Amino acid sequence: MFDELPHFYKAILFATQLIINKLKIKIMKIFKYALLAIPFLYFSCSDDDDNTPEPINEEEVITTMTVTLVAHDGSGVVTMQTQDLDGDGPGLPEVTVSGPISAASSYSGSIVWLNEMEEEVEDITEEILEEADEHQVFFSSDLDIDFVYSDFDSNDLPLGTQFILAPNAAGSGTITITLVHEPAKPNDGLDSAGGSIDIQTTFSVTVE
Amino acid sequence: MNCKCKKCGASFTSKLALALYSFFSLCCINSFAQNCNNRLSIQVIDLHDGTPLENATVQTNGLRGTTDFDGNLIFENLCKDTYVLTISHEDCEPLEQTVDIKKDTFRKIRLEHHLNELEEIMVISDNRNSSRTLFENKISKEVLDDYNSRTIGDVLKTITGVSTLNSGSYLSKPVINGLHSSRVILINNGVRMEDQEWGIEHAPSIDINSIDKISIIKGASALKYAGDAIGGVIIADTSKEKLLDSIYGNITTSLQSNGRGGGISTNYIKTNSNGWHYKFQGTFKKMGDYETPDYVMTNTGFSEHNFSFKAGLNRIDHGFDVYYSLFSNRLGILRSSHAHTAIDIINAIENEVPLVINDFSYDINTPRQKISHHLIKLRGFKNFDFGKLSMKYDFQSNDRKEYDIRRGGRNNPALDLNLQTHSIALDLESKFNNSSNLKSGILAKYQKNYPDPSTGVKRIIPDYKKYDFSLYSVYDISLSDNWFLEAGIRYDFSHVNSYKYYRTSLWEARNYDELFPEFVVEDLGLNTLTNPKFTFNNISTNLGTRYSIDESQNIYFNYSISSRKPNPSELFSEGLHHSSARIEIGDLSFTSEVGHNLSLTYNVANEKSNLTFNSFANYVDDFIYIIPVDLMPTIAGVFPVWEYKQDDAKLFGFDLKYDRQYFTNFIVGHQLSIIKGYERDNNNPLINMPPVNLKNQISYSILELNNLNLSLESEYVFSQNEYPNNNFEVFIATDGIYETLDTSTPPSAYHLLNFSSSYGFKSNKGGNYKINLRVENLLNHSYKNYLNRLRYFTHEMGRNIMLSVSYSY
């Protein structure tokens, strides 16, 4: 085994000599190979792997708002709904009102928000109730209708997922419901509340 | 000092020399047969530029001769033997070289000039214009020092004709003659920055303290870097390392009143006369909320930490270096700019003052951005007979996270993009003779964008892979003492392969289902998975000339054609962009835009004054821009729809700069720039064109008093009087009325006064101290800036006093 050592060394020396002698040529060759490698690199990274990106669960989108009004005199239930299943896509929201509101009765109102984009429909209302202090619903109408908040956040400031709707006179017009995220609380109404609007829908209604 | 002849440690050259030596000694054993009629011809040339060296002395075995004008020398009647030549020249360290004579031999000997001269050459080449047919704008180290606590956008604004497009006080991106974003290319240390430059709220990821000089180039020389730089190329570079045994560097600390923060930056450079060098550089900056004259801009603070390292060998005729840099920051976006609907913006505009104003704080809350940019570069070069060949590989990883105010306790980013780019380039610079040069090169690039799906928010920029391949060639020639000509051509190939989920409703509404059925991978009902693939072939060319009227006057003329392929946001945008409260729609059928740029510059400079007049006309075919086209109701309210359009555009204007010295120590400077931009079909003005801008400056310096320099600068920005009317009516549901959303009317003109002063002195240890005091907006004027995207929500920064102390050793 030791006898082979000198040969071993010789081989290394010879190889080293060879390498050193050819170094100058090698530099040229390296450049040459690099030149050759560029198109190679280029074509080798062609569209080989087809790992398609996974779809995104669009979590925060609200597609549907349903307002249910239950008449205190037992005359029935009025449902107002807006639904926009493609979110910011070109599809328009579908706004429906199930029937007229009776001027003779006040109503208990409740609002539910859904995200129907996800495979399993998500109830966004829970999130809003959890973060009640960061949200507020604002009501307005060109008709003579009173809106009274019946739920409040931890600071006893109005939230608006539950409310009382009390019409004072008959007529046709609109009711606008706006959900604001991070408004200034307390505030004097939508105009001075700041924050950003999550949902705003105007329903055409008849009070008779 | 660092002559090639010296055996430089265990380096590669000495090994080579050793190998050659052993090789020669082996073959010379049998060369004793005397035959003494051989001739040795020698030519001695300068190692750097190949010019012949006259009066070099060559000695061997008692023979001695000097080279003639062409660097030639001939020894006759040499015997077959091995000769050791000693070559010396007055400007050079002597060199020994062994030559083996068996027959008539020719030997080319490269001598290296002495250090002093070497330094000069390097300084000259450092300051030399990259282009000789285009007047080049530069920013010196001194100006960079003045701005060390600011951003690269702020310092670029000091150049006539450059303005910035801002998103708040920190995010500013350069606008060159009205063009910005993908039309302006940034080269950092020789590497093209790939930092998602398409977005207006994306500022360049470069640390101002890591660079020593900046220049802006257009024209033929720009073709070396890019073919799509319709606006221009900004080159940020570090200075070359000195070729001597030295340690130098500096420490700079800065404080500023507005933002109540500051920064510290340090540089440490070690160089050796044998060419080895390394450099460390680091910066840390921290600012709190900025303030306007009347209120605090809540959540506008930032922190930045940057680091760079460079090491390498510079042997003049060959060398290599490794460069790594990290740029990372965290910055707050004005709290009140978080507007989700058009009504929010109307409210903000009506209020004039932000709705949320809190006490000053260093906290950075949502909305905020977090960016990190890594850059690794390997470069090597070698001089050959045919020119200087250099090879470069670089890798960049840009990570961008944007955090929005989200519901349900979500604190993960709403946008999380990772852009990785590999590129490899080979460049050759050849000098044919003293009057002409040819630069050519080849480049291949691979880029991958990965938007993290865990954000739970629709991807704004889709997954894509991009392959680029480019070839360029630039030729310059001095036709006579007065005429200089430069011409270049570049070919860019680009292939984009992307995967994107489109809303099926949009895919169909845009008619893509008929135009691009081949892109559809799978229809998933609500969304459609598509695989758009595009290939672009672009040619860019340039022709430039310079005519020297006399020693002090030059005229530059340049005509260039640049082609830019549409960027991902122009192609793929489809949906609500929360930060701008609008729906943005791109177009898959866009073609490349082609800019025809004509520029004419006149420069006259003498000891006392310097005048530059630059006029330009830029005709851009298929110019891509975004305009509002419609309103769209969604469940969250009505949003304006902005669509990218492709139309012919024209931009023209001029920049004027005049400096004059009065007495011995007063300098008065004036800068004026005017730009106009229109759509070509209907002459509608283009959006976001910089308004007319006039700067006047007076500075006074006393050399005797430690270089004390005082200067007062007045900046007058006119109101932009030509703008497209993009206002639209918004239905205010609560009031049942329509109201105009006026996003187009530019703010009124403003006038700012800035003061700056610097003072330098030597410490007794030999280092230099330099103190800079700069006050911006001296009169604490309250104003809004047309080129700030957040101008609807806030005023600009109030008075800002900046003090920096720098110690260099």
Domain CATH number, residue B36? 2.60.40.1120
| Residue owning tokens 């047919």 | B133
Range in B59-73, B123-137, B349-363, B369-383 the model is least confident about: B123-137
The band of B253, judged by pLDDT with boundaries at 50, 70 and 90, is very high
Are residues B112 and B123 both part of a single domain?
no
Whole-angstrom Cα distance, residue B578 to residue B460? 10
- Smallest Cα–Cα separation from B733: which of A186, A173, A164, A196? A173
Interface test with B, best of A116, A145, A196 (most B CBs within 10 A): A196
Under 8 Å between Cβ of B563 and B539: yes
Among chain B residues, the shortest Cα distance to A49 is held by B465
| Residue at which a domain ends, from B224, B257, B286 | B224
Residue B418: the pLDDT is 94
Helix (H) or strand (E) holding A165: strand A162-167
Does the beta carbon of A125 lie under 8 angstroms from any beta carbon of chain B? no
Are residues B321 and B337 both part of a single domain?
yes
Chain A residues 25-84 within an 8 A CB cutoff of chain B: 27, 31, 34-35, 38-39, 41-42, 45-47, 52-60, 62-65, 82-84
Q: How far is B116 from chain A (nearest CA, A)?
A: 30
Please determine, for residue B15, whether its predicted confidence score (pLDDT) is greater than 70. no
Are residues B220 and B79 both part of a single domain?
no
Q: How, if at all, do strands A107-115 and A94-97 pair?
A: unpaired
Please determine, for residue B351, whether its predicted confidence score (pLDDT) is greater than 90. no
Q: How far is CA B608 from each of CA A134, B173, B664, B668, B679, rounded to the nearest angstrom?
A: 65, 34, 9, 11, 42
Convert the pLDDT of each residue in B154-171 to its tens digit. Answer: 999 988 889 999 888 888
Kindly state the average pLDDT of the residues B314-328: 89
Among chain B residues, the shortest Cα distance to A84 is held by B635
- Smallest Cα–Cα separation from B559: which of B533, B593, B595? B595
How many domains does chain B fold into?
3
Chain B residues 523-542 within an 8 A CB cutoff of chain A: 524, 526-527, 529, 531, 533
Contact A178 B338 (CB under 8 A): no
Chain B residues 401-460 within an 8 A CB cutoff of chain A: 405-410, 424, 426, 442, 444, 446, 451, 453, 455-459
Residue A44: the pLDDT is 45
Whole-angstrom Cα distance, residue B97 to residue B4? 10
Among chain B residues, the shortest Cα distance to A115 is held by B635
Q: How far is B17 from chain A (nearest CA, A)?
A: 10
Residue A91: the pLDDT is 86
A41/B312: higher pLDDT: B312
Among chain B residues, the shortest Cα distance to A38 is held by B444
- List chain B residues with CB under 8 Å of A55: 453, 501, 524, 527, 529
Of B382, B456, B509, the CB nearest to A59: B456
Residue A9: the pLDDT is 57
Range in B70-79, B459-468, B525-534, B789-798 the model is least confident about: B70-79
Under 8 Å between Cβ of B86 and B58: yes
Residue B365 lies in a domain: no
Does the beta carbon of B598 lie under 8 angstroms from any beta carbon of chain A? no
Helix (H) or strand (E) holding A6: helix A4-21
Interface test with A, best of B13, B335, B734 (most A CBs within 10 A): B734
Q: How far is B465 from chain A (nearest CA, A)?
A: 8
Does the beta carbon of B504 lie under 8 angstroms from any beta carbon of chain A? yes
B220/A44: higher pLDDT: B220
B385 CB burial (10 A radius; 0-12, 13-18, 19+):
exposed
Please determine, for residue A31, whether its predicted confidence score (pLDDT) is greater than 90. no
Whole-angstrom Cα distance, residue B555 to residue B563? 26
Q: What percent of chain A has pLDDT over 70?
A: 76
Convert the pLDDT of each residue in B778-795 to its tens digit. Answer: 999 999 999 998 888 899
Range in B239-253, B336-350, B597-611 the model is least confident about: B336-350
- List chain A residues with CB under 8 Å of B356: 184, 194
Of A56, A91, A124, the CB nearest to B458: A56
| Residue at which a domain ends, from B206, B224, B242 | B224
Under 8 Å between Cβ of A122 and A115: yes
Please determine, for residue B335, whether its predicted confidence score (pLDDT) is greater than 80. yes
Does the beta carbon of B385 lie under 8 angstroms from any beta carbon of chain A? no
- Smallest Cα–Cα separation from B317: which of B20, B48, B9? B48
B8/B457: higher pLDDT: B457
The DSSP code sequence of B749-806 is PEEEEEEEEEEEEE-TTS-EEEEEEEEESTT------TTBTTTTT------EEEEEEE
Q: How, if at all, do strands B72-78 and B302-314 pair?
A: unpaired
CATH code, B762:
2.40.170.20
Convert the pLDDT of each residue in A48-94 to its tens digit. Answer: 455 789 888 888 889 999 999 999 998 899 999 999 988 888 888 99
Does the beta carbon of B311 lie under 8 angstroms from any beta carbon of chain A? no
Domain ranges of chain A: 4-44, 64-207
Question: Cβ of B37: how many Cβ atoms within 10 Å?
Answer: 11
- Smallest Cα–Cα separation from B263: which of B205, B332, B329? B329
- Smallest Cα–Cα separation from A202: which of A95, A114, A113, A110? A95
Whole-angstrom Cα distance, residue B375 to residue B239? 18
Helix (H) or strand (E) holding B144: helix B141-146
Question: B204 is in which domain, residue-wise?
Answer: 119-224
Chain A residues 156-195 within an 8 A CB cutoff of chain B: 174, 176, 178, 181-182, 184, 190-191, 194
Convert the pLDDT of each residue in A103-129 to its tens digit. Answer: 999 999 999 999 998 888 999 999 999
Contact A20 B15 (CB under 8 A): yes
- List chain B residues with CB under 8 Å of A54: 453
Are residues B485 and B621 both part of a single domain?
yes
Contact B426 A38 (CB under 8 A): yes
A81/B11: higher pLDDT: A81
Q: Which residues pair with B660 in a beta bridge?
A: B609, B668
Q: What share of chain B is helix, strand, coil (3-state, %, to 5)?
A: 10, 55, 35
Interface test with A, best of B23, B527, B635 (most A CBs within 10 A): B635
Kindly report the length of chain A: 208
Question: Cβ of A168: how many Cβ atoms within 10 Å?
Answer: 12
Residue A87: the pLDDT is 82
Contact A84 B635 (CB under 8 A): yes
Are residues B126 and B83 both part of a single domain?
no
Under 8 Å between Cβ of B317 and B380: no
Residue B367 lies in a domain: no
B400/B28: higher pLDDT: B400
The band of B31, judged by pLDDT with boundaries at 50, 70 and 90, is very low
How many contacts (CB atoms, under 8 Å) link A and B? 187
Tokens at A41, concatenated: 């690199």
Residue B1 lies in a domain: no
Are residues B655 and B797 both part of a single domain?
yes
Please determine, for residue B491, whether its predicted confidence score (pLDDT) is greater than 60. yes
Contact B391 A190 (CB under 8 A): no
Convert the pLDDT of each residue in B265-303 to its tens digit. Answer: 999 999 888 888 999 999 999 999 999 999 999 999 999
Residue B755: the pLDDT is 95
Residue B702: the pLDDT is 86
Mean pLDDT of chain B: 85
Residue A50: the pLDDT is 56
Are residues B579 and B629 both part of a single domain?
yes
Contact A56 B501 (CB under 8 A): yes
Residue B294: the pLDDT is 95
Among chain B residues, the shortest Cα distance to A197 is held by B340
Residue B355: the pLDDT is 78
Are residues B111 and B192 both part of a single domain?
no
- Smallest Cα–Cα separation from A150: which of A70, A49, A82? A70
Does the beta carbon of B632 lie under 8 angstroms from any beta carbon of chain A? yes
Residue B7 lies in a domain: no
Residue B91 lies in a domain: yes
Are residues B211 and B331 both part of a single domain?
no
Are residues B111 and B123 both part of a single domain?
no
Under 8 Å between Cβ of B348 and B792: yes
For residues B725, B726, B731, B734, the Cα torsion angle rounded to the nearest 10 degrees is: -90
Kindly state the average pLDDT of the residues B141-155: 85
Are residues B112 and B128 both part of a single domain?
no
Q: Which residues pair with B450 in a beta bridge?
A: B418
Please determine, for residue B215, whether its predicted confidence score (pLDDT) is greater than 60. yes
The band of A145, judged by pLDDT with boundaries at 50, 70 and 90, is very high
Please determine, for residue B439, whether its predicted confidence score (pLDDT) is greater than 80. yes
Among chain B residues, the shortest Cα distance to A173 is held by B736
Among chain A residues, the shortest Cα distance to B731 is held by A202
| Residue at which a domain ends, from B97, B116, B135 | B116
The band of B352, judged by pLDDT with boundaries at 50, 70 and 90, is confident
Convert the pLDDT of each residue in B744-766 to its tens digit. Answer: 899 999 999 999 999 988 888 88
Please determine, for residue A7, whether its predicted confidence score (pLDDT) is greater than 80. no
Of A17, A88, A124, the CB nearest to B576: A88
Chain B residues 23-52 within an 8 A CB cutoff of chain A: 23
Quick check: helix, strand or coil at residue B453?
A: helix
Are residues B142 and B178 both part of a single domain?
yes
Tokens at B791, concatenated: 């101008």
Please determine, for residue B336, whether its predicted confidence score (pLDDT) is greater than 90. no
